[in-house]
Amino acid sequence: MSALIPARVDALLARCRREIDEGRIPGCQVAVGFEGEVVLFEALGEVTTEQRFHLYSAVKPTVSLTVLELAAERGFGLDTPVGSILPSFAGNGKDAITVSQVLLHAGGFPHAPLGAELFSDREARLNRYNTWRTTWEPGTRYEYHASSAHWILADVIQQVTGRHHVDVIDERLMAPAGVGRWLGIAEDEQHDIVDVVSVGSHTDPVVFKEKFGIDLPVTEVTDDALLAFNDREIRATGHPGGGGIASAADVALWYQAILHDDGEILRPEVKLDALTTVRQTQRDWLDCPAERTHAFTLGGDDGLTVLRGFGHTNGPHTFGHGGAKGQRGWADPDTGLSLGFVTHGLDRDEIVHARRGAAISTKAGELTTPIG
């Protein structure tokens, strides 16, 4: 931890502890990576460093990177129609939607339904894809696909390899990085996973509209949907869009591994594309340009880094992906720092947990910056 400025470390931990002391979350883990290692790992509140937490959408890059690797290895282009890999997906006019559009949340099916009863039934999922319809012309908009897109990507992985997506991702993206499996945790291996709980009050729609100038959006990421991941069977399915489970230390370490990878995990061309090449700049529901690669959100240099889930001190090349209710994972190539932040307190107020994530990322982003 010698590379970190002690006073900066104290400020980061104090900011995390404040959330607990003021009753906003019951506990959390925070971890920082630097020069290929985890140099800070703390558990605060009612949790310990021996436990694992739900990452929710922070797991998405592991799925996307696996698809990118398979595309490079097996020779199918990212402009390949998904329907040529998963024939049932082409139904209802979806035949022209490409792998790239799915990776970039531009496929046009952000709210396509897939009930929990299909999470472990691939044949039923494939049949359901045939019934899905687009709600806008693919490629013309950016709208976050909370779970539908990554179920498609997971089944592309299985179709191409003939193996379950959780095993392929673990072998290609997790084990080489020195971290444990994030997806598909067997029921008899879940003893250390912290159940999530809802905390706080729901966002005041009037306050939200005053702050952002738009109505509070209605999404599939509801309290009930998030709490459902306490179910041991659902955890075991390896939900590719939101079923990630890990400690903050594993998140920080994985981002260090990707940051410093010299070809052991990703092909150089895949890494370059995933970490630097912005493919999606259409505006999101906050009117913020997306600044997305095929796998990550980047900080950007337009002053909107915080709206993309990072902190004020994160550089424009910062790459990462957050998860529901404030889970954070990122690495900043300009400083060499990475962050993992997880909590089991799912704040009902979207503004509160967004501010928390921005504040903690801001403190973490300056850990190597001298004071004065």
Give the domain CATH number at 49.
Answer: 3.40.710.10
DSSP symbols for 180-196: ---S---GGG-TTBPPP
> Would you say residue 285 lies in a domain?
yes
Q: Which amino acid is at 253?
A: L
**For the segment 179-231, what is each residue's pLDDT rounded down to a tens digit?**
999 999 999 999 999 999 999 888 888 888 887 887 877 787 889 999 999 99
Indicate whether 43 and 183 sit together in one domain. yes
> Would you say residue 121 lies in a domain?
yes
Handedness of CA 48, 50, 53, 59 (dihedral sign): positive
> Would you say residue 229 lies in a domain?
yes
Please identify, among 130, 152, 169, the residue that sits at the C-terminal boundary of a domain: 169
pLDDT of residue 1: 54
pLDDT of residue 196: 98
Tell whether the model's pLDDT for residue 360 goes beyond 70: yes
- As given in the structure block, the two tokens for residue 348 are 């009902």
Least confident span in 43-47, 208-212, 339-343: 208-212
Please identify, among 169, 200, 215, the residue that sits at the C-terminal boundary of a domain: 169
- Count CB neighbours of 30 within 10 A: 26
Indicate whether 119 and 82 sit together in one domain. yes
Mean pLDDT of the region 29-48: 98
Mean pLDDT of the chain: 95
- Residue 263 zone, left/alpha/beta (φ > 0; ψ -120 to 50; rest): left
Mean pLDDT of the region 16-21: 96
Indicate whether 54 and 70 sit together in one domain. no
- Count CB neighbours of 203 within 10 A: 18
Indicate whether 107 and 226 sit together in one domain. no
Indicate whether 190 and 314 sit together in one domain. yes
Indicate whether 201 and 342 sit together in one domain. yes
Tell whether the model's pLDDT for residue 349 goes beyond 80: yes
Indicate whether 130 and 191 sit together in one domain. no
> Would you say residue 189 lies in a domain?
yes
> Would you say residue 371 lies in a domain?
no
Indicate whether 191 and 315 sit together in one domain. yes
Indicate whether 292 and 329 sit together in one domain. yes
> Would you say residue 156 lies in a domain?
yes
Helix (H, G, I), strand (E, B) or coil at 274: helix
Tell whether the model's pLDDT for residue 85 goes beyond 90: yes
Indicate whether 35 and 78 sit together in one domain. no
Overall domain count for the chain: 2
Please identify, among 169, 204, 230, the residue that sits at the C-terminal boundary of a domain: 169
> Would you say residue 372 lies in a domain?
no
Handedness of CA 71, 153, 332, 39 (dihedral sign): negative
**For the segment 229-266, what is each residue's pLDDT rounded down to a tens digit?**
999 999 999 999 999 999 999 999 999 999 999 999 99
Indicate whether 192 and 332 sit together in one domain. yes
- As given in the structure block, the two tokens for residue 343 are 């909590």
**For the segment 266-318, what is each residue's pLDDT rounded down to a tens digit?**
999 999 999 999 999 999 888 899 999 999 999 999 999 999 999 999 999 99
Indicate whether 49 and 78 sit together in one domain. no
Helix (H, G, I), strand (E, B) or coil at 33: strand
**For the segment 52-81, what is each residue's pLDDT rounded down to a tens digit?**
999 999 999 999 999 999 999 998 999 999
Q: What is the distance between the alpha carbons of residues 325 and 146, in angstroms, rounded to a whole number?
A: 13
Q: What is the distance between the alpha carbons of residues 111 and 133, in angstroms, rounded to a whole number?
A: 10
Mean pLDDT of the region 35-57: 98
Q: What are phi and psi of 129, to 5 degrees?
A: -55, -35
pLDDT of residue 2: 64
Q: What is the distance between the alpha carbons of residues 272 and 269, in angstroms, rounded to a whole number?
A: 5
DSSP symbols for 284-297: -TTS-B--B-SS-E
Q: Give the residue numbers spanning the domain of 16.
A: 6-60+178-365
In the DSSP assignment, the letter for residue 40 is E
Q: What is the distance between the alpha carbons of residues 10 and 240, in angstroms, rounded to a whole number?
A: 35
> Would you say residue 105 lies in a domain?
yes
